[in-house]
Amino acid sequence: MDTIHLTGIRCYGYTGYLREEQVLGQWFEVDLTLWVELSEAGKSDRISDTVDYREAINIVQRLIKTSKFALVEKLATAIANEVLSLEKVQQVRVKLFKPAAPIPDFGGTITIDITRNCDTLG
């Protein structure tokens, strides 16, 4: 199976366990891997034979901007489920980065890394 990688989708959103995170917001970054059969697109040179990855980017940006989940796990799952609804996407990997988690004495990045396919929706 072939893959399309979309990296560095950065957006400001309001998901977080603390109330302040849902009010003040913070930056998130997402990398997507889409499993898609690309052989036909490689022959035809038609976008209809592949995934228009602008749609996947728009899904990520919209969900980050509008969601107010308590857990980043829920946000990553919502992104995966909606990207899987795109025609031709058979599997998706979502790496969601929270680079500035409000945890005392922690300057690292929280990363949620999930892979879903049509059989594991939810």
Domain boundaries, the chain: 2-120
Instruction: Categorize the per-residue pLDDT at 118 as very low, low, confident or very high, splitting at 50, 70 and 90.
Output: confident
What confidence score (pLDDT) does residue 119 get?
78
Instruction: Return d(Cα 68, Cα 46) in angstroms, integer.
Output: 37
- For the question of residue 68 being annotated catalytic, the response is no
CATH architecture type of domain 2-120: 2-Layer Sandwich (3.30)
What confidence score (pLDDT) does residue 121 get?
60
- Please name the residues in contact with 32: beta carbons below 8 A apart, sequence gap of 6 or more: 4, 5, 6, 7, 9, 56, 60, 79, 83, 92, 93, 94, 95
What confidence score (pLDDT) does residue 122 get?
54
Residue scoring higher pLDDT (100 or 84): 84
Interval 22-40 mean pLDDT: 96
Residues β-bridged to residue 31: 95
pTM value? Answer: 0.94
Sign of CA dihedral 111, 116, 41, 55: negative
pLDDT > 90: what percent of the chain? 92
Active-site entry in 43, 65, 95, 98: 98
Interval 85-108 mean pLDDT: 94
Inform me whether the pLDDT recorded for 43 exceeds 90. Answer: yes
